[in-house]
Amino acid sequence: MQYNPGWNNSSVNLLHVRAVGPSDTLHYIWSSIGAPAVLLVATESRTSSLGINWTQLLSPAPAGAIWIDPPSSIIYSTAVVFTKVFEYSEAQTLEELFYPTYDLSDFSWDSVNHTLNHTALMAEFTGTPAADPSGSFSNGSLAFRVTAYEASGRDRPLPSLLHTANSSKVEFVLAGVAPRGNSSRFVLEVATVEETGVAQKLRSARSIDDEYTPTIFEMLSLVAESQNSSSTLSFLQWKATAYGSQTPRREDNIQCRSRGLQAANWTPPVSSVVRAYFGEGVGSTYTVSAINISFGGEDGKVYQEKRYLSWSALLGFGQPPKDTFSPLVISIMAVALGTPMGMLLVGSCLVLLAQRKRYSEYEPIN
């Protein structure tokens, strides 16, 4: 993990996470220059490196300021951008009342260097609006916590996402932000940038096994598929839940819904790493899609009471991890289904044996 490689000023944030495999390298470039974003680049070289022209990156025309050497080693690249946070509440007429939008490209971000943990492979981008006329952020903040992984495993805190070494986690956190309504709900807008010939699809998978995330039976995945081979190139995966506590428990669950994936008529902010890498073709040569993820229960009171919201998602390359039935659940199912079947089988055998017996009150005659 490298913070602002080649730049000594901490007034801006760029975090480069590099994962080297036997014959390839995965690059994650996180940044809060403009709207918070992450570039994902997969290369077929163990020695591929990140190049940055900082003067150009921080200028009004950043196109071409970020590149990967050698360019011929790049297999696939994409970007995920967290653009806006909406806040709304439902009026008595059941109409949605929207408050002024929080544009994340207008936020002021703290230095990530203070939160960088090379041992745990974690960092945190914390920000507040540059202008806050309502005073909602006077005692609060918005953050994106980033975690990289060296091996496969499962997170301990809820929602206990299953991860691989080809993935990273991002956690969206609202802490102490005063809602502007009595039953406010929040919506996070997430945009993706894909190359020509790659399409985004939203998938939903349901399972009866909620062992690791109690009461949550749905997993959603935003996957990038090649239109030529139908192979999955990258993913953004999350459970259909958020939590209202720093140490989440089942009762801290906040309902999470995804509003349909749409093609976005959208251009990244001027100084974003997305334009620096993909150039001026974003929105024309490259495809931009957007999805809204909303948080809040039926009455929106969970956040109102606790003033804390946390939503976790996994992003990475290839197929998203799939949960399978654990040995514990398989054992429970075997006992639950096997015991009645065994009793039925034994009962049937006893009935058949009883029918074969002939009962008589008379003695046999020679």
Walk along the chain (366 residues) in steps of 10 and give the mean pLDDT of each run.
Answer: 95 96 96 96 97 95 95 96 91 76 96 96 97 94 97 93 95 96 90 91 89 91 89 95 92 89 71 88 82 78 85 96 68 67 80 66 66
Q: What is the DSSP letter of 279?
A: G
Q: Given this model, what pLDDT does residue 292 score? A: 95
Distance CA 271, CA 268 (A): 8
Find how far residue 217's CA is from the centre of its chain: 16
CB within 8 Å of 350: residues ≥ 6 apart: none
Q: What is the DSSP letter of 106?
A: G
Q: Given this model, what pLDDT does residue 268 score? A: 59
Q: Given this model, what pLDDT does residue 89 score? A: 85
Distance CA 111, CA 95 (A): 40
CB within 8 Å of 66: residues ≥ 6 apart: 29, 39, 50, 51, 52, 53, 57, 273, 276, 277
Q: Given this model, what pLDDT does residue 18 score? A: 96
Please tell me whether residue 356 adopts helix, strand or coil conformation: helix
What is the domain partition of the chain in residue ranges? 78-317, 330-365
Q: Given this model, what pLDDT does residue 220 score? A: 96
Q: Given this model, what pLDDT does residue 332 score? A: 66
